[in-house]
Amino acid sequence: MMSRLISLLLALLLSTGAMLSDPASESREAGFLFPPYETLLSAPGLQARCLMREMTLEEQIGQLFLIRPESLSEDLTPAMVHHGTFFGLTQWDPALTGRMTQRPPGGVILFGKNIIDPDQLTLLLDQLSAAAPYPLFLAIDEEGGRVARIGNNPHFSVPRYESMETITRPEDAFLAGTAIGSYLKDYGFQINFAPVADVNTNPDNVIIGDRAFGDDPQQVALLVREMVRGYEAAGILPCLKHFPGHGDTHDDTHHGAVVLEKSWEELLDCELIPFLASLEDTPLIMVSHITLPNVTTDGLPASLSYQLITEKLRHELGYQGLIVTDSLAMGAVTDHYDSGQAALMAFQAGADLLLMPEDYALAFDSLLQAAEEGVISRERLEKSVLRVLTWKARAGLIGTNPS
């Protein structure tokens, strides 16, 4: 067994050496429960590289997408998603399996309209996983409070929370993360897009409000960190959102552009404090669509900005986990770009996971064409695919013993 492992390792070193960046930066495990970048000697990192080598280009492109299951159906038009009139797929249609294979996504996110009761949810998640050619990330927004797809369904007997704003003690934040994470784990999810790390400093904020822990950045940082620990203790990958901070905005990026006039220094003094406090403990960070004219010069939403994602979050702050966009079907994006343009821009900006493009087929095909034509380098693609697969291995979706 050891000799086979050594032989495989040597082969991987020879075949992937050109794509590797600085090994020291890749192995920064710090405080992560699920390290984002493994060394070649670690089982999850090795398994991720082995699986990536088996994948076609199309399958590698697919790993970059987290989609609604309805995106695989021709009955769902982009306009229906945009205007919020989408239906909810609650039972897998075998006719969709071919589309899942043609454009295999890296993961699926469920909403309230996908969920009826415990038996139906369990069956649907099993069906989705069985239809995919490679293991799927199964994700959900289960913040607690008004955003809780399972917790707000009366057919489920799970812990319920009035809001995150009502949680004021670190021990209660940890217990809430453990409780929510435990029932998500029981149903088969791996990712929860929570906790909200925004600091709710604007009383007129229409989108964050009591979803945040409060308006004191230090207190929010403490509670966010404990909730992250709770999710990870339950075996769920948490995600800090909405970087670099949506708490001092007035408008809603679901419906159009939102501008935050603060400078980077001002963000460091408030909005970024909760993110920085958990930066080395959090597997995923979600980047919002707010535009920051006093931080970047490109005029783009943060989710599409290389200056914000790569130069600030990756390089300046040193984040090594998975970077996911907020939903690419939101008005702040769709009012200006089609799904192909938005997906390519977000990926080139540095995102690893592209969440819910309005038109999945167009987004997928645009990235595939860009990779085939060299607009996206193979090195850049494989870095994100490797991140995704390594996290899947750490989450138990990919076996840790190479075959």
Which residues are known catalytic residues? 326
Q: What is the sign, positive or negative, of the torsion defined by CA atoms of 333, 337, 338, 340?
A: negative
Residues shown for the chain: 403
**Phi, psi angle pair for 137, to nearest 5°:** -75, 130
- Tokens 């934040």 locate to 173
| Separation CA 197–CA 217 (nearest Å) | 9
| Separation CA 319–CA 277 (nearest Å) | 12
Asked whether the bond before 195 is cis by omega within 30 degrees of 0, the reply is: yes
| Separation CA 25–CA 2 (nearest Å) | 27
- What is the separation of C-alpha 59 from the centre of its chain, rounded to a whole number of angstroms? 18
Q: Is 165 helix (H, G, I), strand (E, B) or coil?
A: helix
| Separation CA 234–CA 112 (nearest Å) | 22
Q: Which residues contact 59 (CB under 8 A, 6 or more apart)?
A: 104, 133, 134
| Separation CA 304–CA 346 (nearest Å) | 4
| Separation CA 355–CA 353 (nearest Å) | 6
Cα within 13 Å of Cα(60), Cβ side: 28
Q: Going edge to edge, which strands form the sheet with 284-287?
A: 322-325, 284-287, 237-243, 191-192, 137-140, 107-110, 65-67, 354-355
Cα within 13 Å of Cα(401), Cβ side: 2
| Separation CA 30–CA 36 (nearest Å) | 10
Residue 327 DSSP label: P
